[in-house]
Amino acid sequence: MFTMEERVMTKVFDYKSLDELKNQGEGKYFYIHTYGCQMNEEDSEKLSGMLKRLGYTRTEEKTEAEIILFNTCCVRENAENKVFGNLGQLKALKAKNPDLIVGICGCMMQQEGMADKILKQFPYVNIIFGTHNAYKFPEYLNRVKTEGVQIKEIFNKEEEIVEGLPVDRKSDVKAFVTIMYGCNNFCTYCIVPYVRGRERSRKPEDILKEIKELVANGYKEITLLGQNVNSYGKGLENEVSFAELLRMINEIDGLERVRFMTSHPKDLNDDVIKAIKECGKLCEQIHLPVQSGSNRILKKMNRHYTREYYLLVLNKIKREIPDVALTTDIIVGFPGETEEDFIDTLELVKEVKYDAAFTFIYSRRNNTPADMMLDQVNDEDKHNRFNRLVEAVNSNVIAQNKAYEGKIVEVLVEGTSKNDESKLSGRTRNGRLVNFAAEGVKVGDIVNVTITKAQNFSLIGEVCK
């Protein structure tokens, strides 16, 4: 009897037995470079899982890889430029090893004409595929190896969600679980709806099954992913709301923590806030992108809420969940943004006192409405505003961290500290990074830690005796 994973893998190859696949990559290595968001990271975990199922071993060294795969992002121009630069560097490797297989996939490939541009500029690329047909990667790889063909296949429309793909997760403690794909919001600056497609929700039973399997394998924390998780349930035969899904997940025995991202302010309703308040496994952390503090700019962005409504939602969250950590995304230099508009954003940041913020300079994206706007902001003003925004955000973060000195916090141990291998590292329920020395504590443990020192973007502590 095949498992779901085996049925998917054999269906891809149209083979009768998985045994014919297992030894294809024995003794060979692959390298994956991931650009962009957490959903791209999870996509790469699936690509890695498929390759490992074929016998390949992952490496962090391009020079020893038989397969090099770039999983791309196109949300900002800088990410695209990095892809072009890294592809160019492979020319020498390909010359030394003509059998090296180079693949490129992801959001960037869904843009009209991009695949042809890649092939023209980098003719040594072997495989190009998009976001909607990543599950077919083993088939493409097999054809390149056995037929010597060059493959370019981009599905222009989303298909049904493919369940059961093998996943090679980076962590043994926490995992990403995608609950829905695509976006229906069409913010004027954003290319995601065009490259990820319309909203499609996974069936709740498939989500619950995946999480239960993760818990059985020792995972303590999961992060639910979606372009807009608040929209979960749309399109299901029996509609289930995001709040209802959260309550179902909260009932899973052995699961310790649940996070989710990203939420759209217009859809974060009272039921979700109530679920976070009442469900003990849901962490007190909400990522709620504001993008701008100016009503005029929010309207141009097609965000469907006002500054006043956003603050109303935040105040409700703070009232119902007093210990909540609030994080956000902010764009500066959007077309038409004036100094007055930027001051509105700066004042909002100072009022909310975010625990963290992802700040971005507006990047023009082809075929988005914002790209066609005539009132583009010059680079000097963009960078000046960006620097002022970062300073305001960081001053809030540092002050918030300072308030934790002397407090006892619950930390899930995730691994060794990146800055000091003699220390362990983990996060509080509301997402703060804590580094601490501890004997007899191992990865996956949940411990109480006394914070002894606050650094700018992390905390130092000692395990409570």
A 10 A CB-CB count for 339 gives: 10
Tokens at residue 159, please?
A: 């298909």
Residue 17 has what pLDDT?
Answer: 45
Tokens at residue 310, please?
A: 């956003």
Mean pLDDT of the chain: 91
Tokens at residue 51, please?
A: 């390759």
* pLDDT band with cut points at 50, 70 and 90 for residue 11: low
* pLDDT band with cut points at 50, 70 and 90 for residue 20: low
Is 73 annotated as ligand-binding? Answer: yes
* pLDDT band with cut points at 50, 70 and 90 for residue 366: confident
All domains of the chain in start order, with CATH: 10-153 (3.40.50.12160), 161-403 (3.80.30.20), 407-463 (2.40.50.140)
Kindly give the residue spans of alpha helices, DSSP state H, lying in 322-378: 339-352
| CB neighbour class for 41 (10 Å; exposed up to 12, middle 13-18, buried from 19) | middle
- At 237 the three-state DSSP class reads coil
Q: What is the mean pLDDT of residues 385-410?
A: 95
Tokens at residue 262, please?
A: 């990203």
* pLDDT band with cut points at 50, 70 and 90 for residue 80: confident
| Inter-residue contact 46 to 167 (CB < 8 Å) | yes
Q: What is the mean pLDDT of residues 194-204?
A: 91
Q: What is the mean pLDDT of residues 340-346?
A: 98
| Inter-residue contact 354 to 393 (CB < 8 Å) | yes
Q: What is the mean pLDDT of residues 83-104?
A: 93
Handedness of CA 239, 244, 245, 251 (dihedral sign): negative
Read off the DSSP letter of residue 280.
Answer: T
| CB neighbour class for 65 (10 Å; exposed up to 12, middle 13-18, buried from 19) | buried
In 209-276 the beta strands, taken as DSSP E runs, fall at 221-225, 257-261
284-296 confidence digits (pLDDT tens): 999 999 999 999 9
Is 187 annotated as ligand-binding? Answer: yes
- In this predicted structure, the answer to whether residue 425 has a pLDDT above a threshold of 70 is yes
- Whole-angstrom CA distances from 284 to 227, 317, 318, 432 are 20, 10, 10, 11
* pLDDT band with cut points at 50, 70 and 90 for residue 3: low
Tokens at residue 343, please?
A: 């001051």
111-155 confidence digits (pLDDT tens): 889 999 999 999 999 999 999 899 999 999 989 998 999 999 998
Taking each helix axis as running N to C, give the angle between helix 38-53 and helix 137-147, from 0 to 180 degrees, rounded to the nearest 10.
Answer: 50
Cα angle for residues 324, 330, 334 (degrees, 5° grid): 160
* pLDDT band with cut points at 50, 70 and 90 for residue 74: confident
Is 74 annotated as ligand-binding? Answer: no
Kindly give the residue spans of alpha helices, DSSP state H, lying in 122-241: 137-147, 192-196, 204-216
A 10 A CB-CB count for 165 gives: 21
Residue 15 has what pLDDT?
Answer: 42
The Cα–Cα gap between 86 and 229 comes to: 33
Residue 196 has what pLDDT?
Answer: 86
* pLDDT band with cut points at 50, 70 and 90 for residue 197: confident
* pLDDT band with cut points at 50, 70 and 90 for residue 2: very low
Is 190 annotated as ligand-binding? Answer: yes
The continuous run of DSSP H or E covering 434 comes out as strand 433-437
Is 283 annotated as ligand-binding? Answer: no
33-47 confidence digits (pLDDT tens): 999 888 899 999 999
- In this predicted structure, the answer to whether residue 22 has a pLDDT above a threshold of 80 is no
Instruction: Please name which of 236, 290, 252 lies closest in space to residue 268, comparing C-alpha atoms.
Output: 290
Residue 14 has what pLDDT?
Answer: 47
> Is there a cis peptide before residue 262, judged by omega within 30 degrees of 0?
yes
Residue 25 has what pLDDT?
Answer: 78
Residue 79 has what pLDDT?
Answer: 82
What does DSSP say about strands 127-129 and 151-153: parallel, antiparallel, or unpaired?
A: parallel
Is 183 annotated as ligand-binding? Answer: yes
- In this predicted structure, the answer to whether residue 19 has a pLDDT above a threshold of 80 is no
